Structure 1
Amino acid sequence: MIGRLVLFGATGDLTARYLLPALAALRSAGHLGDRTQLTCASREDWDDGQYREWAAAQLGRHGGHLPAGARDAVAASVRYLRADVTDPADVAAAIAGDGPVAVYLALPPAVFPRAVTCLHQAGLPAGSRIVLEKPFGEDLAGARELNRLLGRLVPEQAVFRVDHFLAMTTVQNVLGSRLANRMLEPIWNSTHIAEVEIVWDETLALEGRAGYYDRVGALKDMVQNHLLQLLCLVAMEPPITLGERDLRDRKVDVLRSVRTLTEDDVVRRTRRARYLPGRIGDLDIPGYTEEEGVSPRRRTETFAEVELELESWRWAGTTFRLRSGKALGRDRKEVAVRFRSVPHLPFGHSGEALPNVLRFHLEPEGLTLDLTGIGAHAHQLTALSLTARMEPPGLPAYGRLLLDVLHGDPALSIRGDEAEEAWRVLEPVLSGWAAGLVPLEEYPAGSAGPPPRRR
């Protein structure tokens, strides 16, 4: 286990909301001790005391459910450095020390190439690891170049392109439900499944993240990485093991099987939109272009939807719809597997059998199976729903990922060829949207999104 962690971007939203609480959770569970060295680096001209005060406040705000002793221990153990990740001398000072180091780049993707170059110039100790947040690059060419730079720095096994969705309990349960239940795997194919909808709709608006989000948008922020990862777990062939090679090989197979979208497909099978002023609960929400730090000229989307088809024996004929939107009227975060209707009903005119739907709820975590059954009157059909709630995970998703990094297990990180294939899938969408083939629709904040398209 690596005993040193250097975190660049240590005053950002990702660190405050997720990484510091994840470290406290690891401390509370006994995975981190006093000998673990934590160096936090950012551009703010602070000293150790100022950063520790800030870290303690963020841990109280975002990790208040964790034991106070663990939060205090993490905040007190931090060493802070003012550093520019694009300055080789600053980078060398941050990673200086004995033995291998895990370097976490909690930074915007545009900074990755320069940061990796500086790490190469500084010279990482043997056995070190590097962690990069999504999205990995900004397009296919950028991902290929970044992979080339990383290959000069460390072996592929030491590169952790993390996506915390893969460590969520319910996401892991997609594989568990498929592969550990005899009744599901035989019908997990296009003969029985008509459509899979992978959705991350949230009531959350921009929340001060314009500096990052306005340069990325919903397609790159959510669909290109998180939702495509969920697609891989839903559609992959059963791996021999859940080891990093077997699991990641099968995920790459899924991405390679996605049919390349034509310009006509982009027009018919993709949508983009952004929110107008509206109301969510008791809050008045300004329109996206009125948010501080947003440039209307970028025409950044806050809603993205893409329909994909897989050219494989198992999935030919099934539609995979990936959708994500901000500032919507309700949170809906799930994988919905819609089965085909039964071929015949012997109940006369006693009602309609709705298609069975298996829903993997991502937040809050749970599982629901929608069925059709008999109601109070004989032969009268009625809707039934079976629901299961998951036990709270032992570690938060980022805690699991950080532990994998420290132990050197890349199974839940994204391999280089996988990152490139994900961009390959969406390159036609990016090009088509840039060319204006798909209009930028609008929807009021607090609504269900843009009006449904007539099919």
Structure 2
Amino acid sequence: MKKTDNHILVIFGASGDLTERKLIPAVFNLHCRGFLPDNFAVVGVSRSAFTDEAYREKVVFENEHLKDVGGNGDRAKFAKRIYYHAMQTNNPADYPIFRDRLKQISLECETGDNCIFYLSTPPSLYEVIPRSLAEVGLHREQDGWKRLIIEKPFGYNLETAIDLNQKLLQYFSESQLYRIDHYLGKETVQNLLITRFGNSIFEPIWNRNYIHHIEVTAAETVGVEKRGGYYDGSGAMRDMVQNHLLQLVALVAMEPPVQATETSIRNERMKLFQSLRALSEDDVVNNVIRGQYTQSKIKGESVPGYREEEGVATESRTETYFAMKFFIDNWRWSGVPFYIRTGKRLPTRVSEIVIHFKPTPHHLFSKGNGLPNTENILVIRIQPNEGILLKFAMKIPGAGLQATDVNMDFHYSDLNDAYIPEAYERLLLDCIQGDATLYARGDAVEAAWEFVDPILKVWESNPDIKIYGYPAGTWGPEHADDLLEGDNITWRYPCRNLTDDGIYCEL
């Protein structure tokens, strides 16, 4: 097991939903499983007026998201490592007091001067907090390392992303910055590297010679819930595409890294972003589809349309569905179309990568319906029902040589003794251990924004570009089907249950 240093984890925005639902449970799981050192502390920081005891009660003893794992679920012991400090995070005058409180906790818990600052805050504080920390010397590493974790969104467009990077680098070095994308912490996403580069049956055919197209889907069943005000200023493209989906594309399409190191893997992701074909205005008009969900009934229950949600403008043109076709201009992927889509109020919650291999050139065996052989498909399921599914043809028993599609699958749940950590659990441990492999580097964030920024500019300058409605509970605007190239080529409509894929499914 890699050595884990004594440290303090400071969570700004400690009274928020993310802290209670994801961050504290992730730290608790690491503690239960023995991944944390004997000397550690968690300090929650926000404006709310909690004492240490009241905060411990809220996030430990009353937290329904905490589950005992590893046979070491002593909440009382864990709670003693939790502290709380109330302050105005946008007021520089409060930071000297905060620095002194950290020193006091460090002495009490014998953690030394190693510290992680986690910004679970509105983006408006992403520059304010690092600057204020630096002004009181909490960025210095003379006596211990200092690391800063930043949640998305990392910028609102290319210009603001570059500006934020430049401001952060005034106070912290790039090696201290950890831009978190929880999708990269999912076990199936990490397994992409092993699937591709650790198996000789896949890597030789992972290119334009054998792959017809690749699609990436991130579907949600929920609407905007109570986040209408925030979401209406963001939309599906900013919320999901620029970060999550493009990071998945980078992992599925990047070249083999020279070494299994943080620098090598991040360099290859960066090269992939640099190979994305730039989008012209015609590309945006013809190869990008956006939509909004409209009022509908789902399982007999009426659900509102997007423009009827609380906090959403009645004439809003913010997209809740986004689909796009694009290309990667390098030797491996030249001419292979990539399709990505994401949306809210779709039939099922599912995220997956689908590799569509080219059909056999010799249509020797039909499938009993007079149609030629279809392509083989490899499905890499990220969530839920995590696993891998391979679809290929087999002979139908009996006379003749008719073929049918069959499934061969693997599920992480089949590994009886394997514990699958939550994404935040894995990513927090990586940061504690100084491994930024699964975090986004500043230049890669800017490169991803450089690719999608033309879409935003065309939308802003051309209000005549259509935004299509789709009934809540369906798979988005039918116009998205027009993106796909080739005869009888459609989007894959996944089931929640990977095992019974193709047998039963949501709408």
Q: How many residues align?
A: 454
The separation in 1 between residues aligned to 2:218 and 2:420, in whole angstroms, is 24
Partner of 1:324: 342
| Matched position secondary structure for 1:152 | coil
Deviations 1:30-79 (A, max 9, x none): 1225521111011222322332232136631x234646835554444321
Does structure 2 retain, via aligned residues, the 8 Å contact 1:130–1:158? yes
Structure 2 residue identity aligned to 1:16:
E
Q: Does 1:360 align with 2:380?
A: yes
Query: What is the CA–CA distance in structure 2 between the aligned matches of 1:294 and 1:76, rounded to whole Å?
Result: 43
Amino acid at match of 1:426: V
Give 1:381's match in structure 2, choosing from 380, 390, 403.
403
Separation in structure 2 between the aligned mates of residue 235 and residue 261 of structure 1, nearest angstrom: 19
- 2:120 is equivalent to residue 106 of structure 1: yes
In 2, the alpha carbon distance for the partners of 1:250 and 1:277 equals 43
Q: Structure 1 pair 45/292, CA: closer, same or farther in 2 (3 Å)?
A: farther
The AA in structure 1 aligned to 2:471 is P
Shift of 1:138: 1.3
Which SS does the other structure have where 1:425 is aligned? helix
Corresponding position of 1:85: 89
Q: Which amino acid aligns with 2:31?
A: R
Partner of 2:66: 63
Cα separation, 2, equivalents of 1:122 and 1:211: 35
Q: Distance in 2 between matches of 1:273 and 1:131?
A: 33
Question: Residue 23 of structure 1 corresponds to which residue in structure 2?
Answer: 27
2:471 aligned partner: 444
69-78 vs 29-38, greater mean Cα deviation: 69-78
Match of 1:413 in 2: 439
How far apart, CA to CA, are the structure 2 residues paired with 1:250 and 1:159? 19
C-alpha contact (below 8 Å) 2:289/2:479 kept by paired residues: no
Match for 1:122: what amino acid?
Answer: V
1:92 CA displacement: 4.2
1:372 paired with 2:393, answer yes
Q: Secondary structure at the match of 2:218?
A: strand
Cα shift readout 1:143-171 (whole Å, capped 9, x = no counterpart): 11111122121221111011121121111
Residue type of the alignment partner of 1:198: V
Gaps of 5+ in 1: none
Q: Which amino acid aligns with 1:29?
A: R
Q: Is the 8 A contact 1:130 1:159 kept in 2?
A: yes
Give secondary structure in 2 for the equivalent of 1:219. helix
Matched, 1:8 2:12: yes
| Aligned positions of 1:343-354 closer than 5 A | 343-347=361-365, 350=368, 351=370, 352-354=372-374
Q: 1:47/1:300 Cα in 2 relative to 1: closer, same or farther (>3 Å)?
A: farther
Distance (whole Å) between structure 2 residues aligned to residue 44 and residue 384 of structure 1: 56
Question: Which of 403, 426, 429 is the aligned partner of 2:429?
Answer: 403
The answer on whether the counterparts of 1:194 and 1:317 sit within 8 Å (CA) in structure 2 is no
SS in 2 for 1:153: coil
Higher RCO, 1 vs 2 (CA within 8 Å, ≥6 residues apart): 1
CA contact (8 A) 1:2 1:102 kept: no
**Per the alignment, do residues 386 and 14 of structure 1 end up closer, same or farther by CA in structure 2, a change over 3 Å counting?**
same
Q: TM-score, normalised by structure 2?
A: 0.84
Letter in 2 for 1:63: L
- Residue-by-residue CA offset, 1:92-145 (whole Å, 9 max, x unaligned): 444432513110001233331222222232322422110001221111111111
> Is residue 123 from structure 1 mapped to residue 123 from structure 2 by the alignment?
no
Partner AA of 1:370 in structure 2: K
Counterpart Cα distance in 2 of 1:80 and 1:137: 29
Instruction: List aligned pairs for 1:124-273, cutoff 5 A.
Output: 124=138, 125-126=140-141, 127-273=145-291
Question: SS of 2:297's equivalent?
Answer: strand
**Counterpart in 2 of 1:311?**
329
Whole-angstrom CA distance in 1 between matches of 2:296 and 2:32 = 41
- 1:172 Cα offset (Å): 1.2
Using the TM superposition, name which of 118-127 and 374-383 deviates more: 118-127
Greater mean deviation of Cα atoms: 245-254 or 186-195: 186-195
* Matched position secondary structure for 2:458: helix
CA contact under 8 A between 1:129 and 1:160: conserved in structure 2? Answer: yes
For 2:309 and 2:363, the matched residues in 1 are separated by: 53
2:479 is paired with a residue whose SS is coil
Distance in 2, Cα, partners of 1:359 & 1:349: 21
CA deviations on 1:393-418 (whole Å, 9 max, x unpaired) are 44211111111111111111111101
Instruction: Decide which structure has the larger Cα Rg and report it.
Output: 2
- Distance in 2 (CA, whole Å) between partners of 1:279 and 1:28 is 44
Distance between the aligned counterparts of 1:379 and 1:65, measured in 2? 54
8 Å Cα contact 1:239/1:247 also seen in 2: yes
Cα offsets for 1:356-388 (capped at 9, x unmatched): 110000112110011122112321111111111
| Amino acid corresponding to residue 439 of structure 1 in structure 2 | K
More off after superposition, 419-428 vs 341-350? 341-350
Per-residue deviation, 1:320:
1.1
Residue pair 2:229, 2:310 contacting (<8 A) in 1 also: no
Runs of 4+ in 1 over 6 A off after TM superposition: none
The one-letter amino acid paired with 1:421 is A
> Helix, strand or coil: the match of 2:212?
strand
1:431 equivalent in alignment to 2:481? no
Q: Distance in 2 between matches of 1:349 and 1:18?
A: 47
Give distance in 2, aligned partners of 1:76 and 1:210.
38
Query: For the Cα contact (< 8 Å) 1:370–1:385, is it kept in 2?
Result: yes
Unaligned runs of 5+ in 2: 107-112, 484-507
1:159-202 alpha-carbon deviations (Å, 9 max, x no partner): 10111211211111111111111111111001111111111001
Please provide the CA RMSD for this pair. Answer: 2.1
- The letter for the 1-side match of 2:151 is E
For the structure 1 residues 292 and 349, does the alpha-carbon distance in structure 2 shift closer, same or farther, using more than 3 Å as the test? closer
Q: Which amino acid aligns with 1:383?
A: D
